[in-house]
C-alpha cells in the first residue's frame, strides 16, 4: 500500500482539531505536574505547520518529514519542541532515498522514537510521551511485519497508545519538570503522553478514512 504526502494537510488539520478540543483537559494535566504550557507550546508548532501545509503536501516523504521536524524545533519550545523536532528529523533521515511503504515507515518511526530516547535521556516507564511513542512504534513494526490489514493495524496502534497514556498515571516521573515533584507526580496522567496519544489517534483516523472503500 502506498500513501503519499498529499495526505499530510488532512492529518495536520485533524491534529489541530483534537489538540484544540482537548486543550483544557491537557492543560489541567500539565498544571498538575508541569508548568501548564504544553498545549500552548504544541499549538504554536501546529499553527506553523498549518501555514506550511500546502507546501509540505508537494514534497516527498523525506523532505516533508524534515520540514515538519525543523518547523517544530524552531516553534514549539519547551522540552517537547526539541523532542518532536528530533523525532521527525530522524524519520526523514531514515526515509531518504527509500520507496516508502508501511514496513519502511514503521522502521523509520521506530528509529525516530529511539532518537527521542537518546535526546531526552529517557526510556519507557518514566512518565513521558515515550510511554505512548514506544508501544505505538512497537505495535506498528509488529503489525507491518505481519502484513496486518490497515484498519486492524491502525486500531492496534490506537489501542497501544491509549494503554500507554493510562499507564503513566501510576508512574513516578523521573524526567522533565514533573520529576521535581517526586511521589506527588503519582496519580496524574502525563500531559505529553496524552497529546502524543491524541495525535496518534487523529492520524490513524485520517488514514482509516482515506483507506475506506468509497
Ligand atoms: P516543558 O516541560 O519544558 O515545559 P512541555 O510542557 O512542552 O515542555 O512538554 C512537557 C512534556 O514533555 C512532558 O509532559 C513529557 O511528556 C515530555 N518530556 C519532558 N522531558 C522529557 C524527556 N526527557 N524525555 C521524553 N519526554 C519528555
Ligand atoms: Mg511545560
CATH number at residue 198: 1.25.40.340
Domains identified in the chain, total number? 1
Q: What is the pLDDT along the chain (214 residues), one digit of tens a residue?
A: 578 999 999 999 999 999 999 999 999 999 999 999 999 999 999 999 999 999 999 999 999 999 999 999 999 999 999 999 999 999 999 999 999 999 999 999 999 999 999 999 999 999 999 999 999 999 999 999 999 999 999 999 999 999 999 999 999 999 999 999 988 889 999 999 999 999 999 999 999 998 765 4
The protein residue whose alpha carbon is closest to atom 27 in ligand 1 is 128
Domain containing 144: what range? 5-211
The CB of 164 under 6 Å from ligand 1? The reply is: no
The CB of 122 under 6 Å from ligand 1? The reply is: yes
CA distance 183 to 51: 41
Which contiguous run of DSSP H or E holds residue 202?
helix 191-211
Which contiguous run of DSSP H or E holds residue 60?
none
Amino acid at each position: 500500500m502506498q500513501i503519499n504526502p498529499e495526505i499530510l494537510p488532512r492529518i495536520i488539520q485533524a491534529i489541530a482539531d483534537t489538540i484544540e478540543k482537548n486543550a483544557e483537559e491537557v492543560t489541567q494535566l500539565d498544571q498538575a505536574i508541569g508548568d501548564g504550557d504544553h498545549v500552548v507550546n504544541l499549538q504554536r508548532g501546529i499553527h506553523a505547520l498549518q501555514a506550511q501545509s500546502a507546501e509540505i503536501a508537494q514534497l516527498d516523504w523525506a523532505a516533508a518529514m524534515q520540514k515538519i521536524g525543523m518547523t517544530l524545533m524552531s516553534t514549539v519550545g519547551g522540552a517537547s519542541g526539541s523532542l518532536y523536532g528530533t523525532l521527525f528529523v530522524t524519520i526523514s533521515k531514515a526515509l531518504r532515498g527509500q520507496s516508502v511503504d508501511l514496513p519502511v515507515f514503521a522502521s523509520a518511526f521506530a528509529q525516530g522514537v529511539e532518537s527521542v530516547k537518546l535526546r531526552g535521556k529517557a526510556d519507557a516507564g518514566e512518565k513521558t510521551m515515550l510511554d505512548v511513542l514506544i508501544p505505538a512504534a512497537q505495535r506498528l513494526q509488529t503489525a507491518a511485519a505481519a502484513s496486518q490489514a490497515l484498519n486492524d493495524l491502525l486500531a492496534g496502534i490506537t489501542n497501544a497508545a491509549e494503554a500507554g497514556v493510562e499507564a503513566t498515571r501510576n508512574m513516578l516521573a523521573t524526567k522533565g519538570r514533573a520529576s521535581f515533584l517526586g511521589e506527588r507526580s503519582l496519580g496524574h496522567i502525563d500531559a505529553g503522553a496524552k497529546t502524543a496519544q491524541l495525535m496518534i489517534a487523529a492520524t490513524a483516523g485520517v488514514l482509516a478514512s482515506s483507506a475506506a472503500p468509497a
